[in-house]
Amino acid sequence: MSTFQAPKGTYDLIPPNSATYLAVREAIAAPLRNSGYGYIETPGFENVELFARGVGESTDIVTKEMYAFETKGGDRLALRPEGTASVLRAALEANLHKGGNLPVKLWYSGSYYRYERPQKGRYRHFSQVGAEAIGAEDPALDAELIILAHQAYRSLGLRDFRILLNSLGDKECRPVYRAALQDFLRGLELDEDTRRRIEINPLRVLDDKRESVQEQLIGAPMLRDYLCEACKTYHEQVRELLTAAGVAFEDDPKLVRGLDYYTRTTFEFVHDGLGSQSAVGGGGRYDGLSEMIGGPALPSVGWALGVDRTVLALEAEGIALDIPAATSVYAVPLGEEARRVLFGKVTELRLAGVATDFAYGGKGLKNAMKSANRSGARLALVAGERDLAEGVVQLKDLASGEQTPVALDAVVEEVRRALG
């Protein structure tokens, strides 16, 4: 065993489990690709200031969880703790919003990093698939993204997840609510850190998971009672579109999410089989974020779904994804001449689109056939000196054990026929 291990709070993705992660990523990406979203990839680290401004200086992410460092050249960088700020930065830098076709619809997939206290479902390195629709203020866009995430989860077979929905108001009505909430919170028995938060972003106090805080929040003013007419109408339209699409949701007046940039629609996907770390994904509208990071006014909406959390949700529901074997055909040569000839056939089959593997390392027949079975292949191609003298190889069905001689020049055709 190596003397090195993966850093605390991280994990390695290795076969065969990694196939499930790939399948989950693909299931989330499929409805996005089908709805006009183009793929974007951004660096794993960015300027610290992008996250401080975008995510919010008072958030736990920026104050406690971000991996920040100074480079040899004196730049202050941070490993990305979330995807939205990076994607919006990249879209602005490339002037995608000036192409005349708004919204700019983008999806992405990658690793993110937060200095968390490691526990099941909460890691220091985690994987997400996200989507952003940049540059349009339209309730149909908010509804579209929620529906696409719902579609992705359903396609995986998940049933026990719930969608929580709220509105955080906008720059017209939120300041009035913020002031009322601050007045209420200042009268509570809270620790120093939480008191500081009241002055910077009081909405985050509502998100505090401690029971001692939650008990004191009973009777706190609710944002929904302070929404202006425009925000009420907007939220009602999102709700109507979701209902018309047959997507069930629950109104959650305390849902604020952990990032400062959200306005109006905010939502979370939770799975009750995951215990305290029940959120599998979430997002919302962030109409002011572009201006916060120095861009023009670009109302936008997006979400990120946790790949790790989704895999845990599948396990909680006892769902095993139907993942096809990585190998369809396994070639077993007996002798040097057979190695040369069969290796040529393996290359031909691969070029013809057939997933094929080879018994490397000069294994004997018994060990090579064990490897063939372990690979999950349906067929084996076996050849020895006598077969080659007759111009054939043996095509063996690994499930039934049936074996048929096949002419060397007909191997690709016969394998395709046998695989259906």
Query: What distance lies between CA 305 and its chain's CA centroid?
Result: 4
Q: What is the pLDDT of residues 59-74, one digit of tens each?
A: 667 777 889 999 999 9
Rounded alpha-carbon distances, angstroms, from residue 284 to 48, 173, 287: 23, 17, 10
pLDDT for 332: 97
pLDDT for 131: 98
Mean pLDDT, 10 residues at a time, the chain of 420 residues: 86 92 97 98 94 74 83 94 95 94 96 86 90 97 98 96 94 87 86 82 80 85 90 97 97 77 90 85 93 93 96 95 93 95 96 96 91 95 95 96 95 94
Give me the phi and psi of 413, to 5 degrees please: -60, -45
Q: What is the pLDDT of residues 121-150, one digit of tens each?
A: 788 999 999 999 999 999 999 999 999 999
SS3 312: helix
Q: Given the DSSP bridges, would you call strands 68-70 and 76-79 parallel, antiparallel or unpaired?
A: antiparallel
pLDDT for 207: 76
Number of helices and strands in the chain (H, E)? 16, 16
pLDDT for 260: 65
Rounded alpha-carbon distances, angstroms, from residue 273 to 31, 278, 315: 25, 7, 9
Question: Which structural domains are found in the chain, ordered by start?
Answer: 17-173+227-316 (3.30.930.10), 329-419 (3.40.50.800)
Cis peptide upstream of residue 16 (ω within 30 degrees of 0):
yes
Q: Dihedral of CA 402/407/411/417: which sign?
A: negative
The pTM (predicted TM-score) of the whole model is 0.90
CB atoms within 10 A of CB 47: 14
